[in-house]
Structure 1
Amino acid sequence: MKDIEVKVGQKFPLTIKRLGINGEGIGYYKRKITFVPDALPGEVVLTQVTKVNNRYLEGKVLKVRESVPERVSPPCPVFFLCGGCQLQHMSYPAQLNFKRQIIMDSLEKYAGHVNPETVRPTIGMDKPFRYRSRNQFPVEKSGRNIRAGLYKEQSNTLIDLDECIVQDKRTMQATNAIKVIMSELNIDVAKNVNKEEGVRYIMTRAARHSDDIQVILVATTRDLKKLDLLTERIMRLPNVVSFGLNINADRDLLTGSETIILDGQQAIHETLGETDYEVTAESAFPINVRQADVLYETILAAAGLTGSENVADLFCGSGGSALKLARHARALRGADLNEQEVINAAYSAAANNMENCLFEAGEPADKLEDWIQDGFYPDVITINPNRSGLTADEIDAVNEIKPAVFIYISRNPSTLAKDLAHLTKAFTVDYIQPIDMFPQTTQVEAVVKLVRKRRL
């Protein structure tokens, strides 16, 4: 078929067939796939072309000519500018259905032998706003005034946010107060880390079960001007119990490896169920603490522990789900590449008087091999890798060991499906349980229960 001629700025009506993994509407203009953000399946939208590629088009909605019942008015006034959320224009039940569907679509594409009906309905939240207990906002200066917020989608234009309806109110109140303090003290800001020294991000974290707030400024240097005065004023803010600097001059990283607590506590205290956790500035502890309860209960249910099992938790982080599992297991061992996370997990285990846990830093697949050589054979293995999924070595190790139950916690439907294509050589997928950890966005977490195909 001869390629169609389309120019940037061209307008045409488009029927949206489905949503892409980033929440964009997908239609076909003269058989060429066309991506249109903020459009919903079943709608007819007047589209203006913003990008032309040999394989696809990108456009924007000029007018919704035929809408669908799933469309709602976004409660955030900057939704159509800000890149933080993608789905506020979609009803919450429709968001949950979409998140289930993208997992099913990924299975069809990469692991067609896995029955898509194993994907259960997505577990959502009763109140899908104000759930983020931690923020990390980039900063810039306008004269002496400090601005902080999120970047306009696909741009370097910063939207100064005084309010964000997915953030805990306390994090926004603290951030706004810090902007005022930094402005009054004329604190240096480094928007371009190659040319400037100063603060890059404001990070705040609020504990769910207390009023504790931790403030961390990500800066290119520890030698900020007026740092003593800045520390004193931030520590006087309501409920701030910890203040520090994270040193990071790498433009490609959000945070660096070094954090210095300048005043107050090294960590803030969080509670989930019966378990207390110590959460440090670098911790990957869940941002959605309310839904973390649901996540950990789902993992525990999948494990089906009776109290006699050995459990291995790979990429255990700060011990979130590990400590939940350990209460119902004979013994648990956890491993993570991040040494500070392992220290946090061990400290939390000790604080909860849990003596059946051992946490070690190192390559998780290597640690698993060491534990087996030491006589610790896991009946249940859980693994929670980053969005890139499992390595070939990790897949081979699990397939070779063949625990009775293998639980895979995934944050990326595509890499999950690709990994399941290999894991199903030794395991059968019992079910996949999506959980909405980040309402109003396209992100979805999934707990996958796999059971051994045959006994050893």
Structure 2
Amino acid sequence: MKQQAANIREGQEILLTIKRLGINGEGVGYYKRQVVFVPGALPEEVVEVKITNTHPKYSEGLVKKIKKASPHRVKPPCPVYDVCGGCQLQHLEYGQQLREKRDIVIQSLERHSRFNASNVDIRPTIGMENPWNYRNKNQFQVGTNDKQELIAGLYAANSHNLIDIENCMVQHEATNKVTRTVLGILKELGIPAYDTKKKSGIVKTVVTRVGFASDQVQVVIITISEKLPKKREIIEQINKHLPEVVSIVQNVNKENTPLVFGEKTIHLWGEEAIEEKLGDLSYELSARTFFQLNPVQTVKLYDEVKKAAKLKGYEKVVDAYCGVGTIGLWLADSCKEVRGMDVIPESIEDAIQNAKRHSMDNVRYEVGKAEDIMPKWTKEGFRPDIVVVDPPRSGLDKKLMDTILKTAPKRIVYVSCNPSTLAKDLEYMGKAYRPKYIQPVDMFPQTSHVECVVEIVKRV
């Protein structure tokens, strides 16, 4: 039997004043000292809420009526915003989104660490001039509607209901066009979507990625097995209708997991990678390699990394979770040596090629986990002055943090995509290191996500 939060029951209707935004973009209010999370509600609003779930420490509810609206509330321009799980903040004017994201960082620090806005400089969020059509990669699940027609889109929040999305307003226009055209080609050729319940069909996901600078597009068709009927016809139709596509790839993902990509990649046609440019640097991007999804903001993000690193020219730098080498190459002209590592072999291959392309001979890349490779380098006599980390949402591996603490670099630059795990990691390293400042960067406008660059220094 589920334990209910005190004073609140499921189905109950309450009047709530929203105090702030939660880390997932939901409104947060308090009813008889109990926290209530309300998706779609905004700070300063008074809302009638129906309680949908209760838990020992919090409850969840849905807005029935807005009694007093926030002065920052706007009408979402996307027609499927209310049902699609992709964006959370289109109903909040953009300038206020930036202020709320800084507040989310402050909340995370207060909840999970000894640090707060009084002992750390938490700067205003760096935003975008045009906070739309910024994503360079589109990963749409493929399924069928009630008429058994192929559709592609995202799952509604907390459900397996696939929402057909014709034009995603945060995606680059080229990825929208290519995705819809590829879906039409699969439909015309009778290539079925994979059905997880029936365990039948073929195509799971269509991924498109565009180089903002090159206008090149790559198409990745993700399938449940190596079987992909009518490959030649698919390639011919893509060539015919989409001249901007320079690379067509099949990826095989046999597992029933949230992970989009599987381990096996089959090159079908054209180039194996597309080109992208950030500042003066160009990069080769193959299908599975990680690359920041917002190239415009990535330049601002990496400039902030460089500021936080405070390079003088003599430093040895470790670029952990290096991907295709983007951050390391951004720093390489200002330091003595950069070493990077990543667990995806294709990423390291691309990183090596990217370094060669720019004639950078002071960089070195290896396949593997940072927590395994750094101790090996230390035994070889390599001791970094600066460690740059850009981990996944789960944060830093504790073994890696222990390695960093043992190696004792002068400075750590932490690029975070999750304020909660950032705060927990800062707390873990808090006896030896402290954050000097945190610079939030809005990499994903219209969503609740916020990226941060943190300069972390040794305690004196």
TM class, shorter-length = over 0.9
Aligned-pair identity (%): 42
- Which amino acid in 1 is paired with 2:226? R
Of 168, 172, 194 in structure 2, the residue corresponding to residue 168 of structure 1 is 172
Q: Deviations over 1:302-325 (max 9, x none)?
A: 111122211111111110111001
- 2:312 is aligned to 306
Bigger shift: residues 136-145 or 246-255: 136-145
TM-score, normalised to structure 1, is 0.95
Kindly provide the amino acid, as one letter, of the partner of residue 429 in structure 1: P
Q: Can you list the C-alpha shifts for 1:425-449, whole angstroms capped at 9, x where unaligned?
A: 2223211111111111111111110
1:176: Cα distance to partner?
1.0
Which piece of structure 1 moves more, 287-296 or 192-201? 192-201
Q: 2:63 aligns to what?
A: 61
Aligned residues of 2:378 and 2:407 also touching (Cα < 8 A)? no
Residue pair 1:310, 1:332 contacting (<8 A) in 2 also: yes
Instruction: Give me the whole-angstrom Cα distance separating, in 2, the residues matched to 1:210 and 1:116.
Output: 44
- Counterpart in 1 of 2:219? 215
Per-residue CA deviations over 1:271-308 (Å, capped at 9, x if unaligned) read 11111100011011111111111111111111111222
Q: Is the 8 A contact 1:336 1:363 kept in 2?
A: yes
8 Å contact from structure 2 (residues 131, 446) kept in 1: yes
1:136 aligns with 139
Q: In the alignment, what sits opposite 1:245?
A: 250
2:35 alignment partner in structure 1: 33
Of 101, 113, 135, which aligns to 1:99?
Answer: 101
1:145 is matched with: 149
Q: Deviations along 1:93-141, whole A, 9 cap, x unmatched?
A: 2111111111111111221245454211111111111000101001112
3-state SS in 2 of match to 1:109: helix
* Runs of 5+ unmatched residues, structure 2: none
Question: Do residues 271 (structure 1) and 277 (structure 2) align?
Answer: yes
Residue 458 of structure 2: which of 432, 435, 452 is its match?
Answer: 452
Partner SS, residue 228 of structure 1: helix
CA distance, structure 2, for counterparts of residue 116 and residue 87 of structure 1: 29
**Cα shift readout 1:376-396 (whole Å, capped 9, x = no counterpart):** 221111111111112222112
Distance in 2, matches of 1:380 and 1:33, equals: 41
Whether the 8 Å CA contact 1:214–1:242 is kept in 2: the answer is yes
AA matched with 1:241: V
In the alignment, is the contact (CA less than 8 A) between 1:193 and 1:249 conserved in 2? Answer: no
Residues 259 and 64 of structure 1, relative CA distance in 2, 3 Å threshold = same
Secondary structure of the residue aligned to 1:147 is strand
375 and 178 in structure 1: CA distance in 2 versus 1, 3 angstrom threshold: same
Structural RMSD (CA): 1.8
Secondary structure of the corresponding residue to residue 194 of structure 2:
coil
Deviation at 1:2, TM superposition (A): 9.8
Distance 1:30 1:278, change over 3 A: same
Task: Count matched residues.
Answer: 453
Which residues of structure 1 form unaligned runs of 5+? none
Matched residues in 1 for 2:398 and 2:137: separation? Answer: 33
Q: Say which SS state the counterpart of residue 74 (structure 1) adopts.
A: coil
Residue in 2 aligned with 1:78?
80
Bigger mean CA deviation after superposition, 93-102 or 346-355:
93-102
| Preserved CA contact (<8 Å) 1:144 1:186 | no
Instruction: State the SS of the aligned residue for 1:107.
Output: helix
Tell me which amino acid in the other structure corresponds to 1:171. Answer: T
Q: Distance in 2 between matches of 1:88 and 1:128?
A: 10
Question: What is the DSSP-based 3-state SS (H/G/I as helix, E as strand, rest coil) of the residue aligned with 1:428?
Answer: strand
Residues of 1 paired with 2:101 and 2:384: CA distance? 32
The equivalent residue for 1:47 is: 49
* 1:125 matched to 2:128: yes
Deviation at 1:259, TM superposition (A): 1.2
**2:81 touches 2:87 (CA, 8 Å); kept in 1?**
yes
Change (3 A) 1:290 1:331: same
Cα separation, partners in 2 of 1:186 and 1:327, compared to 1, 3 Å: same
**2:353 aligned counterpart, secondary structure:** helix
Indicate whether 1:413 and 2:419 are aligned: yes
Q: Answer yes or no: is the 8 Å Cα contact 2:275–2:283 preserved in 1.
A: yes
Q: Shift of residue 54 of structure 1?
A: 4.5
Q: What is the SS of the residue equivalent to 1:167?
A: coil
**SS across alignment from 1:290:** helix
- Using the TM superposition, give the Cα deviation of residue 174 of structure 1 relative to its aligned residue in structure 2, in angstroms: 0.5
Question: How many Å separate the matches in 1 of 2:347 and 2:21?
Answer: 36
